[in-house]
Amino acid sequence: MTSQATRVLVLNSGSSSVKYQLLDMRDGTRLAVGLVERIGENTSRLVHTPAGEGARERTERIADHEQALKAVAAELALDGTGIDSPDLAAIGHRVVHGGAAFSAPTVIDDAVLAEIERLVPVAPLHNPANITGIRTARALRPDLPQVAVFDTAFHTTMPEHAARYAIDVETADAHRIRRYGFHGTSHAYVSRRTAELLGRPPEELNLIVLHLGNGASASAVAGGRCVDTSMGLTPLEGLVMGTRSGDIDPAVVFHLERVAGMDTDEIDELLNKKSGLMGLCGDNDMREIRRRVDEGDERARLAFGIYIHRLKKYIGAYYAVLGRVDAVVFTAGVGENAAPVREAAMAGLDGLGLVVDAELNAVRSGEPRLVSPEHARVAVAVVPTDEEMEIARQTFALVDA
Ligand code: ADP
């Protein structure tokens, strides 16, 4: 690596999309953000936005991930940092499932790639697309360090009693069934930023982090380490989400099979895509749900009520797991923007020291901030997440060592 190589390209490869950002790690500047979507269709679209400029958009068939990455490389080259640029220090790949093997970002070689492939059975929806992205990027720049940053890594510190399901141990181990947790990059970033906001070392802090986006997860973080999180073997467990059910009695699945005559794929689709807020009220966007609640819509009110009730249960559970809490932190699309969600989630929890200041909570801002009153026993904070920055930071830390 040359000494001027300070830029990191972050790639988040989905089954039919690639999201990317180019960051300069000297000062954390975001140089470009972009997205290729509908890969494999005739109406593929690439939107590339260099910092401080308008978006450049192209709609044309992009057949596969290789073509997508080449198109991205061409856009980046137009701005001066092509994929072959000496400025580029590394490519950081978001990888959803790192299983029990990967507890830290890892420079990708053939053995690492083989291990990520071995995890496909536990992450059939996500890891194949991540692997395609990695293969394609390695083919384009075989000499450049490429780093896998795992969504599960932050949660590998969970103790066995939090990570294990109470099922037959031999069966669980044979099939690698345990609670892995996801959104770890976000939980890690937000935990660190919260410590900065509070002006205290992460090692001293007990936090409950609520990542509320379309997918949603809570985690209990003690001294900078995750001790419990709400997602499990897959991102289906836990909170009520945009389209996912979160926690249900597993016997619901048997019932749907035996009584409703649904097969496994139908039940998978029901619980992952047609449940959560969407299943409850036909909308998964919290803005729309709040608008309907304000108009007196009963189904939206019930969906909101179920969402908040589940959230409170996790806050209570993690309060007990941690024993003492320094801050409850809201992040991601809903957590950062939806003041009514924060207000409702904290309502009635003053006995736990959790109080929201209505005026502070109403402030809209992209900055980390407190929404609890001064001198509150427990801080309530809003800390915008930045998964790409965290992936770039972890990637650069590894290759710049
Ligand atoms: P993901 O990355 O999981 O797709 P995000 O973290 O971007 O999701 O969150 C997306 C969700 O954030 C939207 O579905 C919407 O419900 C919610 N959201 C975004 N902006 C607002 C807002 N101003 N008020 C309420 N909810 C919002």
Q: Is the pLDDT of residue 258 over 90?
A: yes
Q: How far is the CA of 240 from the centre of ligand 1 (A)?
A: 14
CA distance to 33, 233, 253, 331, 365, per residue, from 122 (Å) = 30, 7, 18, 27, 38
Note whether 236 and 366 are same-domain residues: yes
Neighbouring CB atoms inside 10 A of 27's CB total 7
Structural contact between residues 20 and 133, judged by C-beta atoms closer than 8 angstroms: no
Note whether 220 and 290 are same-domain residues: yes
Q: What is the pTM of this model?
A: 0.94
Note whether 77 and 215 are same-domain residues: no
- Mean pLDDT for 117-139 is 89
- What distance in Å separates the CA atoms of residue 303 and residue 279, rounded to the nearest whole number? 9
What's the confidence (pLDDT) of residue 125? Answer: 77
Higher pLDDT, 249 or 82: 249
Note whether 141 and 224 are same-domain residues: no
Q: Given the CA of residue 332, which atom of ligand 1 is nearest to it? A: 6
At residue 245, φ and ψ (nearest 5 deg) are -70, -30
Higher pLDDT, 102 or 1: 102
What's the confidence (pLDDT) of residue 85? Answer: 86
Q: How far is the CA of 215 from the centre of ligand 1 (A)?
A: 9
What is the chain's alpha carbon radius of gyration, rounded to the nearest angstrom?
21
Domain-located, residue 223: yes
- What distance in Å separates the CA atoms of residue 232 and residue 210, rounded to the nearest whole number? 15
Q: Whose CA is nearest to atom 13 of ligand 1?
A: 285
CB of 334 within 6 A of ligand 1: the answer is yes
Q: How many domains does the chain divide into?
A: 2
Q: Is the pLDDT of residue 3 over 70?
A: no
Q: Given the CA of residue 212, which atom of ligand 1 is nearest to it? A: 6
- What distance in Å separates the CA atoms of residue 85 and residue 283, rounded to the nearest whole number? 44
Percentage above 90 pLDDT, the chain: 90
Domain-located, residue 163: no
Note whether 231 and 322 are same-domain residues: yes
Active site residue 294: no
Q: How far is the CA of 5 from the centre of ligand 1 (A)?
A: 35
The whole-chain average pLDDT of the chain stands at 95
Q: Whose CA is nearest to atom 4 of ligand 1?
A: 214
Q: Given the CA of residue 285, which atom of ligand 1 is nearest to it? A: 16
Note whether 146 and 208 are same-domain residues: no
Note whether 323 and 215 are same-domain residues: yes
CATH code for the domain of 233: 3.30.420.40
What's the half-sphere exposure (Cβ side, CA atoms, 13 Å) at 32? Answer: 28
- What distance in Å separates the CA atoms of residue 137 and residue 144, rounded to the nearest whole number? 9
Examine the fold and report which residue of 125, 150, 175 is the final residue of a domain before the chain moves on.
Answer: 150
From 151, 283, 326, 386, the catalytic residue:
151
Q: How far is the CA of 287 from the centre of ligand 1 (A)?
A: 8
- Mean pLDDT for 203-221 is 97
Q: Exposed/middle/buried for 88, CB within 10 Å: 0-12, 13-18, 19+?
A: buried
pLDDT tens figures, 57-70: 999 999 998 899 99
Q: What length does the chain have?
A: 401
Residue type, 125: L
Q: Given the CA of residue 277, which atom of ligand 1 is nearest to it? A: 16
Which structural domain, as residue segments, surrounds residue 229?
200-387
CB of 349 within 6 A of ligand 1: the answer is no
